[in-house]
Structure 1
Amino acid sequence: MNPEFEAKLCSECFHDQGLRLDAALGGFDDPAECPNCHKAEGKKLDLPHIEELAHRFFVRGTVFRTDYGGAPLVQFNQHQETSIDLTPQLAEDVKLFEKTLGIGFFYYGPRLWMVGEVTPLNELLDEATRAAVIQRVVTEYPAVPFKTADVLYRIRLAPQEPGAHHEYDSPPDQFLGQGRLDSSDLPILYGSQDIEVCVHECRTTVDDEAYLATLKPTRDLRLLDLSALLDEDATEFESLDMALHMLFLAARHAYPITREIAKAAKAQGFDGVIYPSYFSFARTGAMPFETVYGISIRRIKELRAHAMSHVVPNIGLFGRPIGDGLLRVDCLNKIILNRVVYDLRFGPVLGQSPFLQDLGEEYPDL
């Protein structure tokens, strides 16, 4: 153990079961008695780990998602007293945080860009202004090569002929128009360079007959990289980067817009697009739409690499690239889900926050 480690609390100090379990996940083994509860069996926590636990449970654990974007309901600092509604068990636990860290917990009122009030996003939602923003997208996002040495993975569930290469091409016409990018007149082959993301994207279960195709381009392909982080001189409210980031991390209600972006990219001569996986946060464990003092980490130069590490890119190739000879099947394998592990964290059960009440009144569509 780090010689500078000084235990202040342990997992057994807490009454709330979720908080106790979360503390045990992040604590250290130490046979000594806890200086607070005097039990020896709990996982020990020093000040940095107690603060990290408070953030995980009360901030990360209260993140709510709107149609586009999201924000935590609770924050804490050393300048405010606790003012959130708590269960009796959790109220006792909060006293430990107050005493140990000198902090208070309060309902957070996030800046409105965090819940989707971003001008280019609103313009994408409006059919009258959508085309102009899409033109910006295909112009301002970078073109990147997908080279013949690069690898793309694609999963198929229960193909009729698992060994037939055509089974791993874009879906037949009768299945078009159901995905994030494909339309009735634009087939898309979806894949990723991250096999676990492929498993998530296909909603694979232990009962599925799943097969993995390893695909390689037969020539260098030109892709529009919508997963890139744009270098902009703009606030989050004006940011095209933030608009696209929120758009691709939204659910099915965003599909009509993302399909139009795909069509525009094809019209500009691209072979396909790179875009953020909807499961990026679940794959990386990152906090959605993370901020520092209310500023998106995507806008802070020193944190750009950290922000990009939160995004897992998918690839969508236009048409039927296997049938058209743009991709070759390099290898086929059956997939077995041998073991599934969930990385669980916890959060509090709270009453309705004042911010959510105000948000529902002012923005009923959110």
Structure 2
Amino acid sequence: MVGEVEPLKALESEETRKAVLERILKGYPVKILRPGESFYRLRVGPAAPENGAEYDSPPKPSDDPGRLDSVDLRVMYGSQDLQVCIHECRVTADDDVFVATLAPKQDLKLLDLTELLTEEQVTEFESLDMAVHMLFLAGKHSYPIAREIALAAQRGGFDGVLYPSYFSMLRSGGIPFETLTGISHRRIPKFAGRERAKIIPNIAIFGRPISEKKVEVTSINRLMLARVEYEVRFGPVGYQWIEDESKAMEA
């Protein structure tokens, strides 16, 4: 089967993006992050690592914004998977690294973009699920669209989003977008558990949740890398698998 994933194509155009953003807000479930559910936030070389405010969102827009933050929206990034936090921050053995364990002080309403939309009665070419997953496995060229999703969620009353880590494949070892006779495993209910296991969720909370008293710092620790191990495969010279797959819009 050859064709384009239409919702992804529509997200790329400002003229058709709004309708897909509305589908995303309506189609994905709500996840409540409750007090007592902790997650991690790393900082490399903070000025005052013992100060809990260092682990809040930046007070001013970044000169190099991330996947979801922008001039109009501050975002605190974190994860319940510490190893993904380390990789997301591009930590090296020479870095001065600190990790804060955080917990909500109230229920936080998150839009769960990590969920599989297995009840979609559509083909791969019409699949919102495929479009969103492709978007979050893509590189920096996808950031402007992801930021529009974050802004739409914030305007829709959400406190933040759960979204698939770009490094899900490296963490889980799973290959995305596997198919069976041309049908994506993501659309086959009996494969749902296997496909979910390939997705490592990241947490993005809007605003400055520590200073706004929505999130509290429960502990701060220095983080030291004790061991790093890589599992690798060889491939043909000149083939950049991740970039090629993330940019593809073919099913």
TM-score for both structures, normalised by structure 1? 0.63
CA RMSD of aligned residues (A): 1.7
State the 4+ residue runs in structure 1 displaced beyond 6 angstroms: none
Q: Which amino acid aligns with 2:82?
A: I
Question: Is the CA contact 2:61–2:70 (under 8 Å) kept in the aligned structure 1?
Answer: no
Partner Cα separation in structure 2 for residue 341 and residue 239 of structure 1: 36
Name the counterpart of 1:270: 158
Name the counterpart of 1:148: 35
Name the counterpart of 1:283: 171
1:109-162 deviation digits (Å, cap 9, x = unpaired): xx435xxx2000000011100011001111111111000010110000000000
Note the 1:50-61 alignment, pairs <5 A: none
CA shift for structure 1 position 314? 0.2
Question: Is the CA contact 2:6–2:126 (under 8 Å) kept in the aligned structure 1?
Answer: yes
Name the counterpart of 1:228: 115
- Structure 2 gap ranges (5+): none
Question: Is the CA contact 1:227–1:274 (under 8 Å) kept in the aligned structure 2?
Answer: yes
Name the counterpart of 1:135: 22
**Greater CA radius of gyration, 1 or 2?**
1
Name the counterpart of 1:259: 147
Note the 1:31-50 alignment, pairs <5 A: none
Match of 2:137 among 225, 246, 249: 249
Name the counterpart of 2:58: 171
Match of 2:219 among 320, 323, 331: 331
Name the counterpart of 1:201: 88
1:342 aligns with 2:230: yes
Partner Cα separation in structure 2 for residue 293 and residue 349 of structure 1: 29
- 343 and 127 in structure 1: CA distance in 2 versus 1, 3 angstrom threshold: same
Match of 2:199 among 287, 308, 311: 311
Match of 1:219 among 95, 106, 109: 106
Partner Cα separation in structure 2 for residue 348 and residue 324 of structure 1: 50
- Structure 1 gap ranges (5+): 1-110, 357-362
Name the counterpart of 2:2: 112
CA shift for structure 1 position 348? 4.7
RCO (CA 8 Å, sep 6+): is it higher in 1 or 2? 2
1:210 aligns with 2:97: yes
- Percent identical pairs in the alignment equals 52
